Structure 1
Amino acid sequence: MRFLQGARDERLRLLGWGRSLWPLYFITRREDEAAARLLAMVPSSQSWMADLGCGRGSAPARLRYEPCLGVDRSRRMVRASRYGEVGWALCADLAALPLRAHHFGLLLVIGVAEYWRDPEPLLREAARLLTREGHLLLTVSPAGWHARFRRLLGSPVYYHEDEILADLFTKYHIQVKARLNTPTQHLYLLSPNATAGSNNPAV
């Protein structure tokens, strides 16, 4: 298990290095700009935010002023992240987080869902953690050359159809407030459905 985790960390490190080079740098910048446009729709609050599957820290998280908890299953990634430097970091399974329900006003789940064959546990936890006025920024990878390139690096990349995601959003009472697509990333800004009340199965 430790070997597999180390191999995953190395693949992510190589992917991060590759994204800093031309032309991947421009692709990354376009993704970050799309995320920034969606986050601009989220009002600032006093609630905590969390960067789930943070790696070394997602770029959009730097656009916010709320205190942010970085969460990743890789202990090495958490320690190397900017969250680890200030002590706001947690090494945990994203499908079963030891965190209070309805505690976070903003969740970032960026570049994570494509590593999950079934995204339901991830979305269930996100719905559980959000405050009733909170927001979730979720990204998924579409099929295309970029995903094939990542597979060549040895990273498993899973595609999630719109219909499957829509069913999960309905099941966990989260609704799409806005959506943006780039050639390499589909971005959703989601929030709890206010009419769901206590019927939310994630509660």
Structure 2
Amino acid sequence: MSSRALSTDPVTAARLLLGATLTSGGGTTGEVTARIVEVEAYGGPPDGPWPDPASHSHRGRSTRNAVMFGSAGRLYTYRSHGIHICANISCGPGGTAAAVLLRAAVIERGIGVARQRRGALVAEPALARGPGNLCSALAITMDHNGVDVFDAASPVRVRLADSPADPICGPRVGVSVAADRPWRFWLAGHPEVSAYRRSPRAPLPGVSD
């Protein structure tokens, strides 16, 4: 499969990315390969097909979120709270904002390299648990913003699974708006999946969409 598979709505794209293989690095930097086991879907502005007030693109295109408005299959990276790098993969047709946040992965190759990056005392299931830890383990940085993850020469590459996953869905983690929208997807039986934490700024469960 190629980026064309992700030229679809964010929920479908999120389901396609579950179970996909994510590889970064190589050469002197060390290569790490992981299987994606948790993702979150994000839509776009109010006038788009998938309005989403929790999305970075909700208020329109900016320098920061421009990748979300581009073609599918591009890496969109940003700093969370100015500290942790988080990685998304753009989806939907070009010009329509949407992306899928990579929340957790199982390290399959390069565990030693990932451990050097994350610390010797970090338990193996926690190496890439959570968006910031995932990027740390795979050495994904702001310099990777905009790369084509389906290009074999890219420093960050994705290979979609041959068959679709059968995920569990639930509300997204930590968002204060659209907090009940069941746009987080994960694979059962993986300790790498992060715990659900509702934002204290979110409405009571059942009040938000």
Question: TM-score if structure 2 supplies the norm length?
Answer: 0.25
Higher RCO (CA < 8 A, seq sep 6+): 2
